[in-house]
Amino acid sequence: MSSANTEVPVAEASDALVLGRRIRERRMQMGMTLEHLAKLVDRAPSQLSSIENGKREPNLPLLRALAVALNSTLDELLSDEAPSARAALEIAVERAQRGPVFQALGLQPIRVSKTASDEVLQAILGLHQEVERVHRERAATPEEARRANTELRSEMRSLNNYYPALERAAHELLERVGYTEGPVSQRTVSDIAEQLGFSLHYVTGMPHSTRSVIDRRNGRVYLSSTQPSRDARAPILRALAGIVCGHEEPKNYGEFLRQRVESNYLAGAVLLPEQSAVRTLQDAKAARDISMEDLRDAYAVSYEMAAHRFTNLATTHLNLEVHFTKVHESGTLIKAYENDGVRFPSDALGNLEGAMICRNWTARTIFAQPDRFNPWYQYTDMASGGTYWCTSRVEKAKEGLYSVSAGVRFEDVKWFRGRDTPHRTASHCPDDTCCRRASPELTEKWQELAWPEAATPTSLLAALPTGAFPGVDNHEVFAFLEAHERASNSKP
């Protein structure tokens, strides 16, 4: 053991706490004061007090002297068991106060003395356990995040991805600023912000972990000055969605995901207004010429937003069941929605994100096409049953290339442009022979000789970012807002 004057590291504090409580308990059973025991072992009372409180650890000679003075043995003093139920409660509270969760709160630890009632200590311990539970929830593991995603997707499917309350909210926002028809302009979005009591500020030096920052104190929305104005509409609307939807600080990862879905939905519902977009789609259906490109161009939005908005309206207003995917060029599934029965790859719990899409699906065959200007249409015969048709495009992001696809069952393709495509594949997934297993010839040639190193995504092994808004650096955001408020207040 260490010397008598050595501080006990936090990692060793558990044993030191039990030892200290056993020494105190034995001393009190013998009716001995701290000062009397200190004289018997030739130590200062303050030193023994630190030992009894688990803040110091006695060396072996002192421990032997304490055992003799207390008419005990080394084995008895070094037992791992707390000497009583009360001592066990005190130890639990001390451990909690020395742990990282309590220290992160910045609170002054209380002195756990014999005058503190059991009820007080139990209340402190209970509060600590609840704070610790909330921290665990917010530091969601990838498994917890996927579970929340699965639950949310199930709800979206049950509602046909159509949320009437958000549609009404979007309609009311547009009505308040006098919108009538056509693409929603940047000016219209600015007017919506003004109606909600916010001004728009395009600045440099945005916190790197944010797309936008709202200052509710001063009624400002900050966005990057490098963002082209034609692309600023969706970020502004996503930022304002929290105000419109009454979002509060999310209590768990599931609530955080729901708020993001609502923000994206509201932005889409404003930029592709329901009544106007439905008329556009109904006219296209009547002409048997539904096209994601036409929807994109009619409202000057991205292809992804047009395809996703189509899924909001297709079932409720066009009586069409559909599916949607966003897939990275590596084949990894990023986003997915379906109510037409298509079988996405998933694990046993129904988690989709991170799964590998079959190489023969439209969402992956498009990456092999040299023509990136025109849409790619394809039929895919599924082993799980039925034939599906998809229209897909490739879009570029900082993480690489993505395909965005929308599709329907074979019997519904008659309403879409591109139904006459000659491109057709067959998918036998999840059978490994479809696209995951090499041919017998290549397997025999390379199985014993190939040794690749996997490029493991860092997120595969790491917990998701912590905090109320995962991935956002609050220190950076608060410093940003403080700097801009000071700059604004210093202007004449």
**Is residue 149 a contact partner of residue 299, using CB atoms and an 8 Å limit?**
no
CA 205 to chain centroid, in Å, comes to: 24
177-208 tens-digit pLDDT? 999 888 999 999 999 999 999 999 988 888 87
Q: Which domains does the chain have, with CATH numbers?
A: 10-138 (1.10.260.40), 141-271+463-492 (1.10.10.2910), 301-437 (3.30.450)
- At 18 the three-state DSSP class reads helix
What confidence score (pLDDT) does residue 404 get?
96
Name the average pLDDT for the chain. 84
Of 70-84, 307-321, 330-344, give the range with the top mean pLDDT: 307-321
Strand partners, 221: 200, 214
User: Residue 474: pLDDT above 50?
Assistant: yes
Place of tokens 């995951």: 436
What confidence score (pLDDT) does residue 6 get?
35
User: Residue 471: pLDDT above 80?
Assistant: no
Mean pLDDT, residues 42-63 taken together: 87
What confidence score (pLDDT) does residue 396 get?
86
Res. 138 pLDDT band, cuts 50 70 90: low
Mean pLDDT, residues 154-166 taken together: 94
270 or 138: which carries more pLDDT confidence? Answer: 270
Low-confidence winner among 55-64, 282-291, 438-447 (lowest mean pLDDT): 438-447
CA atoms of 17 and 33, how far apart (whole Å)? 19
24 or 376: which carries more pLDDT confidence? Answer: 376
What confidence score (pLDDT) does residue 463 get?
43
What confidence score (pLDDT) does residue 475 get?
65
H or E stretch covering 254: helix 253-271
User: Residue 220: pLDDT above 80?
Assistant: yes
Least Cα distance to 109 among 95, 123, 126 occurs for 95
What confidence score (pLDDT) does residue 3 get?
36
**Is residue 292 a contact partner of residue 321, using CB atoms and an 8 Å limit?**
no
User: Residue 467: pLDDT above 80?
Assistant: no
What confidence score (pLDDT) does residue 113 get?
79
CA atoms of 233 and 243, how far apart (whole Å)? 16
Mean pLDDT, residues 86-106 taken together: 79
- Count CB neighbours of 103 within 10 A: 12
- DSSP designation for 59: -
The pTM of this model reads 0.67
292-301 tens-digit pLDDT? 999 999 999 9
Res. 472 pLDDT band, cuts 50 70 90: low
The CA–CA distances, whole Å, from 361 to 215, 325, 356, 391 equal 44, 11, 11, 11
Q: How far separated are the first and last CA of the chain, in Å rounded?
A: 67
What confidence score (pLDDT) does residue 469 get?
58
Res. 227 pLDDT band, cuts 50 70 90: low
What confidence score (pLDDT) does residue 349 get?
58
Least Cα distance to 117 among 83, 92, 84, 86 occurs for 86
